[in-house]
Every structure is written in C-alpha cells, then in structure tokens.
Amino acid sequence: METTQIKGSESKSKLKRSIIDTDIHGRAPREGMLKYMPRIYREQIATFGWRLPAQGGMFLNGGTNGSMQDVNIPEDSQNEDTYLDYLRKNHLDTYNIEYGILTGGGYEVHAAVDTDFAAAVCSAHNDYYLERYLSRESRLKGSILIPKQDPILSAKEIDRVGSNPDMIQVVVSNGAQKPYGHRFYHPIYEACVRHNLPFTIHVSMEGIGINNPTTGAGHVTSYIEYRAARAHIMAAHMASFIFEGVFEKFPTLRVVMMEAGMLWIAPLIWRLDQDWKALRHQTPWVKEPPSEYYRKFFRITSQPLELPPTTDMIKPMMNAIHCETNLMFASDFPHWDFDSPTHAFPKLEENMWDRIFYQNAAELYGLPQRKASKGVALA
C-alpha cells in the first residue's frame, strides 16, 4: 500500500527528489472530534458549544479565511478519507513528499480558560489524528497537542501517546502566558526528553484568550502588525530558553520554531552575544555565547520564507542563522501564504538544498530514508 502510493506519486510529481515538508495542516472538524470526547463534555458542548477562543475572531487573514483562494477542500466529516485524499492528490503526490508532518490545527486550546476542557480536547485531537490520518497514510507524521496551561497534564498526554512512532513532536502555540523557558513548563520538557520528542512552537493564538497581548506595547491593530509581532514573541521564547538554563537541565531537548520567519534571529543572537559578554555574570549557568545555544538546540522552518531584498545579502544572512543545519523546509499547506517547494526558494547549492529539504528534518525527527533518491538531480 505505502510503496504503491509512493511509486504512484513519483510519476506525476513536480520534484524528482523526494522531500520532507515539516508544516502541513490537517483538519479535525469539531463534529468529527466529538466521539473522542468524554460524555460530560459532549453534553456541555451540546448545551453551550465549544468554549474555545477563535484565532479568526480578532484579525483579518489572507486568502479565503486563511487558505489559498483556489483551494476547494471537500467538507465531509462523515467520510474519514475526504481531506486525506485531497491532501494526497494535491500536495503529497504533487511534490514527491516522502514525509509530511501534520502540525494541527487545534491551537485554540492554548488560549482556553478551562484547562481540563483543553486537556480533553487535546486528547480527542490527538486520537482523531492518529485514527484519521496517521494510521491511514504512512507518509504523514503527527504532532502531540498538549494543554500547556497545565504542564503536569501536558506530561500525562505526552506519556499517553508519545511512544507511538507516528507522533514525532510536541506542539504548542506561540501565544503564551509566560515565555517557554520558565520553570513552570519544565515538566513538559522532562516528558519530551523521556520520549525523545522535540518541543515545537507554532505561530497561533498570540494575544488571544488567556495569552498575553501580542506585543510588549499591547495589542496591535492590523494583521500585518500581528504577523511581524509573532517573530518577536518567538524571540522572547528563544531568549527565555537560553537564559533560564533549559538546555543545561535538558541537554537532549530540541526546540522547533515554526512559521515565524527567520531573519530576525540574526540580530537577536548578535545582540544577545554582545550583551552576554558584558552581563554573563548575571546568568552564570549560560556557559556559551547565546548564538551557540541557538545553533545547537533550535531548529526553524522556512515558511513564510523571508529573504533580504538584495541578492548579495541572501547568502550571508542564511549563513548567519546557520540555515545549512538549522532550517527545515515547510510549505504550510493549504494556507494562503503556502510556499511551493519548487518556487519559494532562490537557487540553492545542492548540499544546502538537500539539508533544508530533507536531511535537517530527517535528523531531527529520526526519520529513516525510504527512497534511494539521495543525490538525484533536482527537477
């Protein structure tokens, strides 16, 4: 079955070389998730609805409700393969995707006031993905949604599904109540390390529900400001992980930052390195320059791909943030600002292409190579 699918895909793919796409969005319709929820919550939902804040309740988005204008996803929550079939034909096959990582949906739980309800939704979401996507399509891998409001419940959820080899990371929203390096969250990292799962922060739910206002100056007005601010929340998380000493405590933990761009990292680590030289006595557990922590412990994904406006700056900036080892390709399918594997990037040297489109993700997630396609010329 798997082999047939993959062989089938190769004949019509736009890419000869298979790739790993680290950010694909599945769908878990709420009516489809109901059967995985405890009865008490099914009854409450029937009476009061789903008490979850909405990302779309505050800001405009792009495309049509956040997806590509020409995406016409069939909605049929009764047919378990409807969206999966769509995904296979319109993305996995098209771009010769050897592994596609499903990163949610479902981030509304990360802004909910009712932590127990959030925990139940996370479990339902994870069960839905395991049954509807991961057990049906071996190219897809999943992300464990956790109720980050309660690190102990989060650790329990990681322990519940984290040994399933189809679950390859833990995912939370970028919007937060505290920067993620804070000791409050450490039980989550214990569980990540126990199951050898990266901790992934995906943009979403900034400034919404229980999370802090989007910027250190408060809420912003427009979607374009919102998108810019998301990078700076990631920056706060990155500095927090480094200066709270998380990697001294959990040296095998890896942190992935998804969909917040990448160029902001260069001036951030330059600044932190400079200040660290003068102020390191205040955080003596930080033993190396902050840029070294970034290089060793963080991975970033490419979409929405940011590049400097002048060609001569592209290579130096990509080198400054160690793209060759730290950047992983992401398409963000099917969202409006989808990056095509064939068009988003400028021409890259073959080794750089191979690292970004395959090896960096394969190494991080421990994904065995399935096709003998390494070194095959690019499309």
Q: Which amino acid is at 98?
A: E
Nearest to 106 by CA among 80, 77, 143, 132: 143
Tell which one of 115, 215, 325, 373 touches a copy of itself (CB under 8 A): 215
Closer of 85 and 292 to a copy of itself (Cβ): 292
* 42-61 footprint of a copy of itself as x/- string (CB under 8 A): ------------------x-
Tell which one of 115, 177, 325, 373 touches a copy of itself (CB under 8 A): 177
285 binds a copy of itself (CB under 8 A): no
Tell which one of 128, 180, 247, 365 touches a copy of itself (CB under 8 A): 180
* 221-260 footprint of a copy of itself as x/- string (CB under 8 A): xxxxx-xxxxxxx-xxx-xx--xx----------------
82 binds a copy of itself (CB under 8 A): no
Q: Which residues contact 304 (CB under 8 A, 6 or more apart)?
A: 259, 261, 332, 337, 339
**124: exposed, middle or buried (C-beta count within 10 Å: 0-12, 13-18, 19+)?**
buried
Q: Which DSSP symbol is given to 212?
A: P
Closer of 92 and 112 to a copy of itself (Cβ): 112
Separation in Å, CA 301 to CA 195, 304, 325, 375: 22, 9, 11, 22
Tell which one of 2, 76, 275, 349 touches a copy of itself (CB under 8 A): 275
1 binds a copy of itself (CB under 8 A): no
Cis, bond preceding 29 (omega within 30 deg of 0) = no
Structural contact between residues 306 and 271, judged by C-beta atoms closer than 8 angstroms: no
Strands 167-173 and 199-202: parallel
* Stretch of residues binding a copy of itself (CB under 8 A), selected from 4-12, 33-41, 156-164, 219-227: 219-227
Structural contact between residues 200 and 233, judged by C-beta atoms closer than 8 angstroms: no
Q: How many residues bind a copy of itself (CB under 8 A)?
A: 69
Structural contact between residues 257 and 172, judged by C-beta atoms closer than 8 angstroms: no
d(CA 144, CA 197): 10
204 binds a copy of itself (CB under 8 A): no
Tell which one of 117, 128, 276, 298 touches a copy of itself (CB under 8 A): 276
Separation in Å, CA 63 to CA 32, 70, 71, 334, 336: 25, 9, 10, 10, 5
CB of residue 48 vs a copy of itself: minimum separation in angstroms? 29
CB of residue 42 vs a copy of itself: minimum separation in angstroms? 33
* Stretch of residues binding a copy of itself (CB under 8 A), selected from 72-80, 159-167, 246-254, 270-278: 270-278
Tell which one of 268, 328, 330, 356 touches a copy of itself (CB under 8 A): 268
Closer of 165 and 218 to a copy of itself (Cβ): 218
214 binds a copy of itself (CB under 8 A): yes
Nearest to 21 by CA among 286, 326, 339: 339
- Map residue 140 onto helix, strand or coil: strand
Mutual orientation of helices 115-129 and 39-48 as an angle, nearest 10°? 110
Segment 99-128, which members bind a copy of itself (CB under 8 A)?
none
64 binds a copy of itself (CB under 8 A): no
295 binds a copy of itself (CB under 8 A): no
Closer of 160 and 182 to a copy of itself (Cβ): 182
Tell which one of 40, 270, 349, 363 touches a copy of itself (CB under 8 A): 270
Cis, bond preceding 304 (omega within 30 deg of 0) = yes
d(CA 107, CA 174): 9
324 binds a copy of itself (CB under 8 A): no
Q: Which residues contact 261 (CB under 8 A, 6 or more apart)?
A: 231, 304, 306
**Residues near a copy of itself (CB under 8 A):** 60, 62, 174-182, 206-207, 212-225, 227-233, 235-237, 239-240, 243-244, 261, 263-264, 266-268, 270-276, 278-279, 282-283, 304, 306-310, 312-313, 316, 320, 337
